Chain A
């Protein structure tokens, strides 16, 4: 085991996959100069100069090129500098990448990874801080991956590169520097397998991305209340491991779903509906969602901090379902 940050884990995953498979290449804005704003692609230009492409500021073109290269048998790893800019390439993601296998009756494969730095980082307001996982969960043909730890980040990104279908890989800017143990030997993490990050008996807390760390901290605080929470990290939102969530809610009888994105029509809404449909008789309290209110990200730091759910938001939600 080594202690790595999420940024380092992602960096290592890309290097290892490029070393292993000559069809893997990197394309995106500023990916050469600084290894991207978050330096994830650092060193690739020196090591694999023929397989990294710095692009004009043209997201539709970048993703479009990725789709075509993938259909021709390459494995592009696309970086979109800020998730928010993926909206400039929605046709390429939604109409092209996602639909090709289906529309061609299974002939086409689009092994494309789109890396998406997302969420609140520095305070840079409404066009550089979004999350949008649920937008893409709604589109059949796309896979939505959200790591919360360095170990998951590396294992999931390596799996994403090998996947025969498009992957939207969400990297929360605020946890790039989060540290954790990462195995030294090669490993992959299958999609559609949640991990229970903390076992507990009283409440199932389904937490996405950075909410996993916050939920674990909440778990320690809640011990003083006498509440023992279980933290389930879905790790991939599409495919979604409904079995692990259902089994956990079956055991605890209570569910809190935590995400940093807006709750309205969001990831938590899907998971809550799934729990209501499958675990209604197990529930001893209404499901509670923790998320951002339905507002754009404000600029002023006190405002921004007030809308992103924090450890206390999880603590409050658990107390509510236990009351």
Chain B
């Protein structure tokens, strides 16, 4: 799919929706409406949006603890997501999952995941299911560079390659594994080079440049859909907020964060690209931002006005209690 002005505007709008959703979610923690923790996606928007732009509704995505952006990019409703962060019964998971477990199975968003690398095996499994059924659906698994240290990364990608499954492994390398710089704990700089161990293509792209992400994603997703097997995409990116709430961020400097925010911001970069091609007027830009802001405000209102789940809900959905077999 060629990137044209219309598609670019939709992607640009998605980036803003994610950016503002995240900033508002963060603000809501200060108000006590969002409790627990949050892993914010600000700074990394180009990755989720650039990848999901190629996905069909029936393609699968699986994510990480930092997956609000993936879910929004794949089409989860902002109202339901904000309500989930608030722990309300109208949330995507009826208030039983929270930020780290947002999922909307009606859109084949199989869930954020609180375990690093936790989605890699399951994404390989959804790909196996679609291969057996011959439906040409693609599965995308997002994970951070920290996941590349874990066994399930190795085992999952190995099997994805072995059976030539229609899956794309997307590493969002934001340079930090929680509070530790990647170079302190990793022995190869680029996660993409690890693809060689599994006999699949590995590509490293500038994750702040959505056009680069989009082009790499197109090739990888098409390849998967054609039945030629997985690709490992590494998107070099950066998170503006700390790892999670309450991170004192002593492991990095203010200057470093400002450098990325001011000079490598994915929204600014994409705005520049679109403006050069006259795909975006100032007025359209303003309208896109205003609409996103309105949607976020509506989502907060929806979440705020929704009720907490009834206490009985703590006891349901452990097993399917309706299910019976006849003796």
Stretch at the interface among B21-29, B221-229, B313-321: B313-321
Does A39 reach chain B (CB closer than 8 Å)?
no
Q: How large is the interface on A (under 10, 10 to 19, 20 to 34, 35 or more residues)?
A: 35 or more
Are B118 and A68 touching (Cβ within 8 A)?
Answer: no
Q: How far is the CB of B279 from chain A (nearest CB, A)?
A: 37
Contact A60 B152 (CB under 8 A): yes
Partner of B316, one of A67, A106, A163: A106
Contacts A53-B163, A71-B110 known; A105 to B323 CB distance under 8 Å?
no
Interface residue? A244 (CB, 8 A): no
Tell whether, in the assembled complex, residue B162 and residue A56 are in contact, meaning their CB atoms are under 8 Å apart.
yes
Binding-face segment, B86-94, B189-197, B207-215: B86-94
**Contact B62–A68 (Cβ < 8 Å):** yes
Please, which residues of chain A bring their CB within 8 A of the CB of B186? none
Measured in the bound complex, the distance between the Cα atoms of B121 and A76 in whole Å is 14
Residues from 118 to 174 in B contacting A, C-beta threshold 8 Å? 118, 120-130, 132, 139, 151-152, 154-156, 158-159, 162-163
By the criterion CB–CB under 8 Å, are B129 and A68 in contact?
yes
Tell me if B155 and A66 are in contact (CB < 8 A).
Answer: no
A107: shortest Cβ distance to chain B, in Å? 4
* Cα-based distance from A70 to B132 in the complex (angstroms): 12
Question: Does A108 have its Cβ within 8 Å of any Cβ on chain B?
Answer: yes
Give per-residue flags for A55-69: 1 if the beta carbon is below 8 A from chain B beta carbons, else 0. 110101111111111
Q: Would B124 and A68 count as touching, CB distance under 8 A?
A: yes
Please tell me which stretch of A183-191, A199-207, A250-258, A271-279 contacts chain B, meaning at least 4 of its Cβ atoms lie within 8 angstroms of it: A183-191
* Bound CA–CA A163/B103 (angstroms): 22
Q: Is the CB of B132 within 8 A of A51?
A: yes
Partner of A106, one of B94, B123, B154: B94
Q: Which residues of B contact A106 (CB under 8 A)?
A: 94, 316-317
Judge whether B60 is part of the interface by a CB distance below 8 angstroms.
Answer: yes
Greatest chain B CB density within 10 A among A56, A100, A107 is at A107
A104→B101 contact, CB < 8 A? yes
* Chain B residues, Cβ within 8 Å of A62: 155, 159
| B298 in contact (CB, < 8 A) | no
Q: Mark B73-117, 1 if CB is under 8 A from A, else 0.
A: 000000000000000000111111100010111100011011100
Name the segment of A28-36, A90-98, A302-310 touching the other chain.
Answer: A90-98
B318 touches A101 (CB 8 A): yes
Q: Which residues of A contact B154 (CB under 8 A)?
A: 58, 61
A239 / chain B contacts, CB cutoff of 8 Å: 319
Cα–Cα, bound, A102→B155 (Å) = 26
Report whether A56 and B155 are in contact in the complex, using a CB–CB cutoff of 8 Å: yes
- Specify the chain B residue showing the minimal Cβ separation from A142: B319
A-facing residues in B6-60 (Cβ within 8 Å): 60
A106 to B321, CA, bound (A): 11
Known: A61-B158, A67-B125. A107 touches B318 (CB 8 A): no
CB B79 to nearest CB in A, in angstroms, measures 15
In the complex, what residues of A have CB within 8 A of residue B155's CB?
56, 58, 60-62, 64
Is residue B254 contacting chain A, with contact meaning CB distance below 8 A? no
B325 pairs with A188, CB closer than 8 A: yes
Nearest residue in B to A143 (C-beta to C-beta)? B319
Our pick among A25, A64, A103 for the contact of B121 (Cβ within 8 Å) is A64
* A187→B325 CA distance, assembly (Å): 10
A56-B159, A64-B121, A190-B324 known; A104+B103 contact, CB < 8 A: yes
Residue B187 is within 8 A (CB to CB) of chain A in the complex: no
Q: Which residues of B contact A53 (CB under 8 A)?
A: 128, 163
A303 to chain B, nearest CB (A): 33
Known: A103-B93, A103-B97, A163-B323. A64 touches B111 (CB 8 A): no
| A-side contacts of B113, CB under 8 Å | 96
- Determine whether B188 belongs to the interface, using a CB cutoff of 8 Å to chain A: no
B312 contacts partner chain A, Cβ-Cβ < 8 Å = no
Min Cβ gap B136→A in Å is 14
Known: A65-B121, A104-B111. A189 touches B159 (CB 8 A): no
Q: B residues within 8 A CB of A71?
A: 105, 110, 122, 125-126
CA gap between A103 and B99 in the complex, in Å = 11
Indicate if B4 sits at the interface (CB-CB under 8 A): no
Q: Does A159 contact B (CB under 8 A)?
A: yes
- CB-nearest residue of chain B to A102: B317
A193 within 8 A of B: yes
State whether A69 and B129 are in contact (beta carbons under 8 Å apart), knowing that A64-B122, A104-B105 are contacts in the complex: yes
In the complex, what distance in Å separates the CA atom of A1 from the CA atom of B327?
17
- Within 8 Å CB of B256, what residues of A? none
A58 to chain B, nearest CB (A): 4
A51 partner residues in chain B, CB cutoff 8 A: 132
Q: B255 near A: Cβ within 8 Å? A: no
Q: Which residues of chain B come closer than 8 Å to A162, judged between CB atoms?
A: 325
- B114: chain A residues at CB < 8 Å are 95
User: Does A73 sit within 8 A of B, measured CB to CB?
Assistant: yes
Q: How far is the CB of B185 from chain A (nearest CB, A)?
A: 20
With A and B bound together, what is the CA distance between A107 and B91 in angstroms? Answer: 12
Q: Is the CB of B125 within 8 A of A69?
A: yes
Alpha-carbon distance between A65 and B131 when the two chains are bound, in angstroms:
13
Q: Is A286 an interface residue (CB 8 A)?
A: no
Q: Of A56, A67, A74, A95, which contacts B158 at CB under 8 A?
A: A56
B165 shortest CB reach to chain A, Å: 9
Q: Which of B121, B151, B326 neighbours the largest number of chain A CB atoms within 10 Å of its CB?
A: B121
B131 to chain A, nearest CB (A): 10
A239 to B323: give the CA distance in the assembly, Å.
13
- Given that A106-B316, A107-B93 are known contacts, is A61 also in contact with B115, CB under 8 Å in the complex? no
Residue contact B327 to A65, C-beta cutoff 8 Å: no
CB-defined contacts of A96 to chain B, threshold 8 Å? 113, 115, 118, 121-122
Name 13 extra pairs, CB < 8 A, besides A64-B121, A65-B156.
A61-B152, A62-B155, A62-B159, A68-B128, A69-B129, A72-B130, A95-B118, A103-B97, A105-B96, A108-B105, A165-B320, A187-B327, A239-B319
For the complex of A and B, list the 4 residue pairs with the smallest distance between their C-beta atoms, beginning with the closest. Answer: A64-B121, A68-B125, A61-B155, A105-B94
